[in-house]
């Protein structure tokens, strides 16, 4: 397999929940490679570590959870040999064409998640506000991540995104 086919490479990841009476090993030695265009579904019993692994990959774990071992490599689509997010360029392994996600700081993670990566978790009612339109929720996100955009630009982009998923409007 060529590295330009790889999107995500998870190697020997361990996640523990740290506790005073002993650590709980939630994820043990998980490895997989996800290629571009593939879809990954995690299946398992309740409490088997599916969400913990997804949170670890997205770097969304909260204490007392901690990645205790392993590596998570993301292979972005490069544009003329450069990343879309210049702040991540210095973390790009030029030979391998990947970014080691566990090495990113808070600001780099924010940029990475905004520009390169997302996870859709279960429980949509926890993700979207049922009393606000999706368009307004998108515009709120743009207000935070694209403060230079005026209200008209935010609304225009929300409408474009809703059309992509065949939703009527951002109204």
Domains in the chain, CATH or no CATH each:
3-115 (3.40.50.300), 128-164 (no CATH)
What is the per-residue pLDDT for 125?
A: 60
Distance CA 18, CA 63 (A): 8
Average pLDDT, integer, range 41-56: 91
pLDDT tens sequence across 71-112: 999 988 766 666 766 767 777 777 777 889 999 988 888 888
Determine whether 101 is exposed, middle or buried from the number of CB atoms within 10 Å of its CB (0-12, 13-18, 19+): buried
Distance CA 160, CA 170 (A): 9
What is the per-residue pLDDT for 81?
A: 66
Average pLDDT, integer, range 145-154: 92
What is the per-residue pLDDT for 109?
A: 86
Q: Does the structure show a pLDDT above 90 at 59?
A: yes
Distance CA 162, CA 128 (A): 14
Distance CA 13, CA 70 (A): 4
């Amino acid at each position: 397999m060529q590295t330009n086919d790889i999107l995500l490479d998870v190697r020997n990841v361990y996640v523990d929940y740290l506790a005073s009476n002993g650590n709980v090993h939630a994820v043990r030695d998980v490895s997989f490679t996800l290629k571009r265009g593939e879809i990954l579904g995690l299946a398992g019993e309740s409490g088997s570590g599916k969400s913990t692994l997804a949170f670890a990959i997205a770097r969304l774990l909260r204490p007392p959870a901690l990645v205790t071992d392993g590596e998570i490599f993301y292979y972005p689509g490069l544009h003329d040999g450069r990343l879309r997010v210049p702040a991540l360029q210095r973390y790009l392994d030029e030979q391998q064409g990947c970014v080691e996600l566990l090495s990113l700081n808070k600001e780099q993670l924010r940029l990475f998640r905004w520009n390169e990566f997302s996870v859709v978790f279960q429980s949509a009612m926890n993700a979207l506000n049922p009393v606000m339109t999706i368009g307004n929720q998108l515009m709120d996100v743009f207000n935070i991540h694209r403060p230079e955009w005026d209200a008209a630009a935010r609304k225009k982009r929300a409408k474009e995104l809703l059309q992509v998923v065949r939703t009527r409007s951002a109204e």
